[in-house]
Structure formats: structure tokens, C-alpha cells
Structure 1
Amino acid sequence: MSIELKPPSSDDWVPTLEDTPFMRLGGEAAVHALAEAFYDVMDAEEPALAHVHELDAQGKVNRGTRERFGMFLVGWLGGPQHYSATHGHPRLRMRHGHVPVDLSMRDAWLRCMHTAMDRQGVTGGLRRFLDDRFAHTANFLRNTEG
């Protein structure tokens, strides 16, 4: 009996230390652009979610929040650890503990991230990996029933 091996598909991607999501996305500028797109979507399409953040004078998620999330994503996706160097360990559950995160808030967050990734052209195996990782983390942050 012989086993036929299929050549790997370009969509079959698993991150490594040499090939991280950070690198696949295009580095620091691209990850920060994803964070900006995420908050732009939130401001436009998910006002209830936007309003749990600090807002600027125009009622948009403020610059500091956007920059901190961009720094966090850079490190979380395998890039330089600027967030941890500046703010310490992310402690996601602790930092989000003051905000009730239920199913509707989780889903709103994921819709924003999905749309942001669409706008940034994130596809294929990287997209599947990120969809799964973001969903897992968003679900982990739930702290309220419903």
C-alpha cells in the first residue's frame, strides 16, 4: 500500500519563529494599519463597542487607544515587544475586566476585526489562522453571560 502525499497548498500555513503572522502581514506599518482599520470600522459600524473606549472630541476611538492596540498587536503577532516594554504584560482579562464583555460585544469586536482584515487584504492560510486566534482570544475575554 502506498501513501500519496499531496504537496502543501499555499493556504496551508502554520506560523514559525522565522515566519510569523507579523511578518506575513508586512511588518510594523501593516499591523498598525490593521489596528487603524479595526477602529475605523468600529467607529462607523459598531457604535456601542466604540463607546466602551475613550473617545476623542469627534466621538471616535482616541489616538492613544489606537496606538496601544497597534503596539499590542505587533507583539502578539510575533513582532517587537514594544507594548510589553512600555506597558508591561498585557494581562488581557485584567485590563478588560471593567468592561462587560458578553456574546454581543465579542461578536461586535470580531465583526470589526473581520472587516478590517478584509480591507487590509488578509487572505488564505494567514487569514484562517488569524480568524481562529482572534476568535479564541475574544471568547476568552468574555466575562458576562449572554
Structure 2
Amino acid sequence: MPVELKIPSSDDWVPTLEDTPYQRIGGADAVMALAGAFYDAMDAHEPVLAKLHELDEQGRVNGGTRERFGLFLIGWLGGPQHYAERHGHPRLRMRHGHVPVDLSMRDAWLRAMGKALDARGVTGGLRRFLDDRFAQVADFLRNTEG
């Protein structure tokens, strides 16, 4: 019986210490742009979720929130740990504990992130990896039934 060779495609990407999601996305500026696109999508399509954040004069999630999330993402995706240096350990469950996160909030968050990843052109194996990881974290943060 012949041995079938499986040649990995570019869509089979798995992160390594030398090839992180942070690098694949394009570094700090690209990650900050992803964070901005995420909050833009939230502002436009998920108003209930957006209202859980501090809003600016135009009713959009404010710049400080956007910057903190961008810094968090940089470190979470394998880049420099600037968030931890400035704000300490992320402690995601603790920081989100005051917000009721149920299935509808989790799904709203994931829809906004999906739109942000689309807007930033994240595709292929990197997209599948990020979709899976974001879903894991969003589900981890659920603290309310429903």
C-alpha cells in the first residue's frame, strides 16, 4: 500500500516561538489596528456590548479602552508584554467579573472580533487559530447562565 504524503498547506499553520500570531499579523501597529477595528465593529454592530465600556463624546468606545485592549492583544499574541508592564497581570476573569457575560454577550464579542479580523484581512491558518483561541477565551469569561 503506498504511503500518502501530506504536504502541509499554508492553511495548516501552528504558532511557534519563532513564528507567533503577533508576527503573522504584522507586529504592534497591525495589532493595534485590529483592536481599533474590533471596537469600530462593536460600536457599529453590537451597541449593547459597546455600552458596557466607557464611551467618548461621540458615543464610541473610548481611546483608553482601545489602547489597553491593543496592548493586551500584543502580549497575548506573542509580542512584547507592554500591557503587563503597565497594568500588571491581565487577570481576565477578575477584570470582567463585574460584567455579566452570558451566551449573548460572548457571541456579540465574537461577532465583533470576527468583523475586525475580516476588516484586517486575517485569513487561512492564522484566522482559524485566532477564531479558536478567541472563542476559548470568550467562553472562559462567561460568568452568567444563558
TM-score of the superposition, structure 1-length normalised?
A: 0.98
Hey, what does 2:99 align to over in structure 1? 99
Name the CA distance, whole Å, in 1 between partners of 2:143 and 2:26: 33
Task: After TM superposition, give the deviation of residue 6 of structure 1 in Å.
Answer: 1.4
**1:46 aligned partner, one-letter code:** E
- The answer to whether structure 1 residue 7 and structure 2 residue 7 are counterparts is yes
Structure 1 segment 13-28 matched on structure 2, within 5 A: 13-28=13-28
Name the residue aligned to 1:38.
38
Could you give the per-residue CA deviations for residues 87-135 of structure 1, whole angstroms, max 9, x where no partner exists? Answer: 0000000000000000000000000000000010000000000000000
Q: Distance in 2 between matches of 1:10 and 1:97?
A: 38
- Note the aligned Cα RMSD (angstroms): 0.6
Cα offset, 1:3, TM superposition: 2.2
Distance 1:54 1:29 in 2: 23
Structure 2 match to 1:68: 68
Gaps of at least 5 residues in structure 1 are: none
Which consecutive segments of 4 or more residues in structure 1 shift more than 3 A?
Answer: none
| CA deviation string 1:46-80 (max 9, x = no partner) | 00000000111111100100000000000000000
Task: Report the identity percentage.
Answer: 78
Unaligned runs of 5+ in 2: none
